[in-house]
Amino acid sequence: MFKIEAIIQPFKLDGVMEALKAAGIDGITVLEVRGHGRQKGHKEVYRGREYNVDLLPKVMLQMVVPAGRKEEVIRTLSEAARTGAIGDGKIFVSEIAEAIRIRNDERGEAAL
Amino acid sequence: MAALKAAVKSSQSAGDNAWMLISSALVLMMTGPGLALFYCGLVRKRNVLGTMMQSFGMMAVVTLLWAVCGYSLVFGGGNPFIGDLRFLFLHGVGADPNPTYAPTIPHQTFMVYQMMFAIITPALIAGAFAERVRFNAMLIFSVLWMFLVYFPIAHMVWGEGGFLNAYSGGRFPVFDFAGGTVVHISSGFSALVTALYIGKRQNYPHEKMAPHNLVLSFIGACLLWVGWFGFNAGSALAASSLATSAFVATHFASAAGAVSWMVAERIRNGKASALGAISGAVAGLATVTQGAGFVQPFSAILIGLVAGATCFLMVSVVKEKFHYDDSLDVFGVHGVGGLMGCILTGVFATRAVNSALKLANGQAAPLGWIDGNPMQVVNQLIGAGIGIGLGVVGTLVALKVTSLFTPLRISEREEDAGMDLTLHGEEGYNFEA
């Protein structure tokens, strides 16, 4: 099992969700987050006072998938979230030791 | 014939009373939710309720103060500087009109209308010391300030026999239709004193203190704009053509203020912002308040244009230069706007709009400079000077006395945690709920 975390542009969320659904991936958690990579922040001005905003609004998707579907999910995510511009985001993949379904204590890939 | 006359008089009274009751409600709406929303959107999340409570606190506390003695100290005859106690506990304030002030509406309507002005004035000041003052200190200070500043200046300008009352034989006749001096100069300059005396928010100006929700501020500013029709047009104290004229002047100045601030901001910062547009509208409204019932529509537009650009420069250039933390720009908008409006009323007031002031021969008296009475500008300056002086001294005394009872500021830790949690035991935005 692998955990796939994708940090993407907020306006790409709808497209990414549709692509995942079309690929038959279910089970996802979405978080509103703030952060930055190499992308620079922007300037905001309130009554003449300038603020440099470094932490930009992003959306983070978390899903845990069976080993066999890892590459497919990564490809789907990265194609659907790409604009080609800086700030498109990143995907992180990590191995998951165990998964438990709370309702009935199923374990492993059966719990996904 | 006599019956017909009585019927006409009674229907005029009914119309005037309806308009004045609506105006009273409109002016209350300016404080809550108008000003409360405008201010709370400009502070950080953790102070949203504390900021709203300052406005709401005035709705509650000043109302009681007004009933007990405030109304009497402003509108009781008394001496030129303060009213007497003839209306203590609203004694004699009932259904019969008070011909001195408003002959066609119940005295009680006049009393409740004027109360709404008394409520919003100290609520305005609170913006200057936002995010750092204890609730009890704010309440004590505001009550003292009402006695030391508001009751005297309101009596001088509007009360029977007042020192500055143009219609009651005042020594220096000042034209203040709806409170440019009484409300905006007095609160604006007092606000600057509080900001300097209480000091900056910790880490100001290094730490980012951007508004947490401009949507709330936007709604608040639009409610202020609408409520201001009650404030200015209602100050005609009748559903008259003068009320219409003040209504038009108010609206035009607000629009001109918004345009002017946006243009100034576009030139200086490259963008016209939402906060700039609504601040410009409020600046236009504050500035036209003094002259609303004295000036013609295009004078009002000019007043609004001057207000928007000047107030923009005050808050974005002058404030930055002097590093004082007038957090929500009460001085920059209300103090400076009020002062400009006071002077410009001396320039643009005309008997073509308001012929209530009569010469000995019964003809309408010339009012401002454009009417051939340039000396009125001097009278207006004297009025503004008294308002400023009283505001500065009264505020210093009120702050000093308040600090004998309670610390003015919350502690640094409390400032970090926010007023909502430390002063009120609540949060505006509950994560778990």
Alpha carbon distance B142, A22 (integer Å): 63
Question: Is B91 a member of any domain?
Answer: yes
Could you give the CA distance from residue B253 to residue B234 in angstroms, rounded to a whole number?
Answer: 17
Question: Nearest-CA distance from A56 to chain B in Å?
Answer: 15
Q: Which of A31, A34, A47 is the mutation pick for testing B, counting most B CBs within 10 A?
A: A47
Structure-token pair, residue A88: 């498109």
Find the closest chain A residue to B316 by CA distance. A48
B81, B124, B101, B171: which is closest to B387 by C-alpha? B81
* B316/A44 CB distance under 8 A: no
Which of B205, B273, B317 is facing A45, going by the closest CB pair?
Answer: B273
Q: What is the pLDDT of residue A36?
A: 86
C-alpha B227 chain-centroid distance: 12
Confidence of residue B78 (pLDDT cuts 50, 70, 90): confident
How many Cβ atoms are within 10 Å of A82's Cβ, its own excluded?
14
Question: pLDDT tens across B225-260, in order?
Answer: 999 999 999 999 999 999 999 999 999 999 999 999
- Verify whether the Cβ–Cβ distance A48 to B275 is below 8 Å: no
Alpha-carbon gap, residue B250 to B288, rounded angstroms: 6
What DSSP line would sit under B249-299, residue for residue? HHHHHHHHHHHHHHHHHHHHHSS--HHHHHHHHHHHHHHHTTTTTTS-HHH
Nearest residue in chain A measured CA to CA from B42: A46
pLDDT bin (cut points 50, 70, 90) of residue A53 is confident
Q: From CA B171, how far away is CA B382, in angstroms rounded?
A: 11
pLDDT at B433 over 80: no
Counted residue by residue, chain B has a size of: 433
- Cα separation, B240 vs B354, in Å, equals 11
Residue A86 touches chain B, beta carbons under 8 Å? no
pLDDT of residue B21: 98
Percent of the residues in chain B that have a pLDDT greater than 70, as a whole number = 100
Q: What is the pLDDT of residue B185?
A: 98
B429 occurs within a structural domain? no
Q: Which two tokens stand for residue B285?
A: 């409204």
Question: Under an 8 A CB cutoff, do B276 and A47 touch?
Answer: yes
- Chain B residues with CB-CB distance to A55 below 8 A: none
Amino acid identity at A77: L
Whether B276 has its CB under 8 Å from any CB of chain A: the answer is: yes
Residues of B in contact with A47 (CB under 8 A): 275-276, 279, 315-316, 329
Q: With an 8 Å Cβ cutoff, are A45 and B271 in contact?
A: yes
Whose tokens are 């709806």? That residue is: B178
Cβ contact B418:B50 at 8 Å: yes
> What's the confidence (pLDDT) of residue A26?
82
CA B206 to chain centre: 31
* B326 within domain boundaries: yes
Tell me whether residues B210 and A48 touch, CB distance under 8 A.
no
Report if residue B432 sits inside a domain: no
Here the CATH number for the domain that contains residue B312 is: 1.10.3430.10
Q: How far apart are CA B362 and CA B364, in angstroms?
A: 7
B154-165 confidence digits (pLDDT tens): 999 999 999 999
What is the separation of C-alpha B246 from the centre of its chain, rounded to a whole number of angstroms? 16
DSSP string, B297-317: HHHHHHHHHHHHHHHHHIIII
Contacts of B315 in chain A (CB under 8 A): 47-48
Could you read off the pLDDT of B345-398 as tens digits, one per residue? 999 999 999 999 999 899 999 999 999 999 999 999 999 999 999 999 999 999
- pLDDT confidence bin for A37, thresholds 50/70/90: confident
When divided into structural domains, chain B yields a total of: 1
Q: Predicted confidence band at B277 (pLDDT cuts at 50, 70, 90)?
A: very high
**What's the pLDDT tens digit per position in A1-30?**
999 999 999 999 999 999 999 999 888 999
B370: containing domain: 30-424
Q: A40 pLDDT band (50/70/90 cuts)?
A: confident
Q: Which domains does chain A have, with CATH numbers?
A: 2-111 (3.30.70.120)
Contact B51, B428 (CB under 8 A): no
In a domain, B175, yes or no: yes
B6 within domain boundaries: no
Question: Nearest residue of A to residue B207 by CA position?
Answer: A51
Q: Give just the sign of the alpha carbon dihedral B415, B419, B420, B424.
A: positive
The C-alpha atoms of residue B188 and residue B329 are separated, in whole angstroms, by: 9
Residues 155-184 of B with CB under 8 A from A: none
In this structure, is residue B15 part of a structural domain?
Answer: no
Neighbours of B287 (CB within 10 A): 35
Which residues in chain B have Cβ-Cβ distances shorter than 8 Å to A44?
A: 210
Adjacent-strand bridge partners of A66:
none
Q: State the nearest Cα–Cα gap between B114 and chain A, in angstroms.
A: 32
CB B263 within 8 A of CB B309: yes
- Closest residue, chain A, to B214 (C-alpha): A46
Residues of B in contact with A49 (CB under 8 A): 205, 316, 320
How far does Cα A69 stand from its chain's mean position? 16
Mean pLDDT across the stretch B142-168?
97
A45 touches chain B (CB under 8 A): yes
Task: State chain B's mean pLDDT as an integer.
Answer: 96
Chain A partners within 8 Å of B319 (Cβ):
48
- B44 Cβ partners below 8 Å, 6+ apart? B131, B209, B212, B418
Select the residue of A45, A48, A51 nearest B208 (Cβ to Cβ): A51
Q: Do A47 and B317 touch (CB under 8 A)?
A: no
Cα separation, B188 vs B395, in Å, equals 11
Residues B360 and B190: their CA atoms lie apart, in Å, by 39
Closest CA to B108 of B86, B90, B121: B90
If 0-12 CB within 10 Å is exposed, 13-18 middle and 19+ buried, where does residue A85 land?
exposed
Q: Determine how β-strand A29-35 pairs with β-strand A56-65.
A: antiparallel
B residues 326-355 closer than 8 Å to A (CB): 329
Strands A56-65 and A89-95: unpaired
Residue B379 and residue B188 in contact, taking contact as beta carbons nearer than 8 Å: no
Distance CA B275, CA A24 (A): 45
Q: Look up residue B338 and give its amino acid.
A: G
CB–CB contact B269 A51 (8 Å): no
Q: Which residue of A has its CA nearest to B312?
A: A47
Using pLDDT thresholds of 50, 70 and 90, give the confidence band for residue A79.
Answer: very high
Map residue A7 onto helix, strand or coil: strand
- Identify whether B417 is part of a domain: yes
